[in-house]
Amino acid sequence: MVRYLRLLRLFFRTELQYELEYRLNLLLEIVQTIVVTSTSVAAVLVLFNYTTALNGWDLGAMLVLLGCFYLVQGFGELVLQPSFEKFMEHVRLGTLDFALLKPASVQFLVTLRHFQVVQIAQMGLGAIVVAVGLSRMPSVGIFEAVGFPIALICGFALIYSLLVALSTFAFWFVRVDNLMALYWSFLDAGRFPVDVYPGWLRVTLSTAVPIGIAVTVPAQVIAGRLDPLGLVVLVLGSVAAFILASWFWRLGLRSYTGASA
């Protein structure tokens, strides 16, 4: 475990050095992130000038949900998106063997290798929006305080598992960019509670593309709208999704190499 944490630190430092080569570009991207996040918060504030609740979600809960959205999106764009895009490029070019020959988990090396360091700003802004939302809510109980980070980590695990499963198809079909683009297009829907959408879209955002669960459920926990049994189901579902995605990855890797992972 310590070995892999050291590898993550090394990967991050390497990517940070690349980003710092173009400091002005890095600064402009941070400014852009601030503008986009501020605009989204302003839109929520304008919306709640005309209503006090949106399908049972008050302003504080909506701000927490918006903050969770930027935390989840930031996590995906920080490490998952660049890593999976590079992985699919390796499959197309036939250069994945460089990762296969290294004495470490191939899944780890491929899925957590590259970083867009600037996305830390998006996650930081998301955390600030969550804090602002919490300041507008009643006191938070022990279950809510403990359950929120657990639900958020489960959300990260669900998004990771989905992207692993989608990218694994590259072992058979080589080009699966359209599948990944479909996921990123659904991602924007997560900035609103999943229960405000029509039934078919709600099911899609909760199962096939679990962005609705990854964003909405942590906000439900902190707002006191999820009971302990629901949180246990979320944890078990996230573990099952991770195990299933890892199994599918090993299956694809065996097909690619003709040997066990």
User: What is the distance in angstroms between the CA of the first residue and the CA of the last residue of the chain?
Assistant: 19
Report whether pLDDT(261) > 50.
no
The contacts of residue 103 (CB under 8 Å, 6+ apart) are none
Q: Give me the residues paired with residue 54 across strands.
A: 57
Enumerate residues 6+ apart whose C-beta is below 8 A from 169: 176, 179, 252
**Residue closest to 112 by CA, chosen among 163, 63, 42:** 163
Structure tokens at 34: 């601030």
pLDDT digits 0-9 by tens, 54-77: 878 889 989 999 999 999 999 999
Which band of pLDDT confidence, cut at 50, 70 and 90, is reported for residue 50? confident
Segment 76-91, tens digit of pLDDT: 999 998 999 899 888 8
Task: Go through the chain and tell me how many residues it has.
Answer: 261
Closest CA to 104 of 4, 254, 5, 10: 4
